Amino acid sequence: MPLLELYGKNPDGAIDKRVIAGMTGWIIFFPTDTPPDGTLVCNGAELSTSAYPELYGAIGTKYGGNGTATFRLPKAEDVIYAAGARHAVGEAVSEGLPDITGTIASRSYSISDGNMIWASNPGSAFFDYPVIYEGDGAHVAGASGAPGYDRVGFSAAKSNSIYGASAHVTPAGIALLPCIVYI
């Protein structure tokens, strides 16, 4: 099992050296901008199988490569734990979603049953929901009457593609440097 030398401050503020045993292929997160000795940043880089035979033996071509001369590191940046490129190491990442916006320009007109309805000239997250009207003012799907618009639809995905891309909200996190042990 490879040994990694890590350095940090002890409670008195002095620099301490720690030696830990790590397995080749382990992914470890660090609050530093530079990977410690014996590790590589998990950035999806293509590596030579002959330059890193132990790591190739541990992960193979799971993340890509041709399997004879090359293999790829996992790309562990900017995923659920917010590691990597978009945020500085150690930066707190706030939770949130973009604002939902849209406009409705309405107009009204009467139909034969005397009710007033309105329709839109929508933009952004709103959209017209067409309905066909028959002579009695009732809307009938697939009818031959002129189309009317008595409803306005709403879809946040029309405003920003982040909506609908997931079934959950990505939580707040902190960015760390994802590294893989290669020795």
- Listing DSSP states for 136-162 in one string gives TS-B-TT-SS-EEEEEEEE-GGGT-TT
Residue with tokens 């959950």: 168
Q: Which two tokens stand for residue 15?
A: 């620099």
Q: Mean pLDDT, to the nearest integer, of 73-91?
A: 69
Q: Mean pLDDT, to the nearest integer, of 142-155?
A: 58
What does the alpha-carbon distance between residue 64 and residue 68 come to, in Å, rounded to a whole number?
11
* Side chain identity at residue 119, one-letter code: A
Model pTM score = 0.53
98 versus 134: the higher-pLDDT residue is: 98
Q: Which residues pair with 128 in a beta bridge?
A: 152
Q: Mean pLDDT, to the nearest integer, of 58-68?
A: 91
Q: Mean pLDDT, to the nearest integer, of 165-172?
A: 66
| Secondary structure letter of residue 41 according to DSSP | E
- Listing DSSP states for 92-106 in one string gives EE----PPP-EE--E
Cβ proximity of 149 and 4 under 8 Å: no
Longest dimension (CA), the chain: 87
Residue 84 pLDDT > 70, yes or no? Answer: no
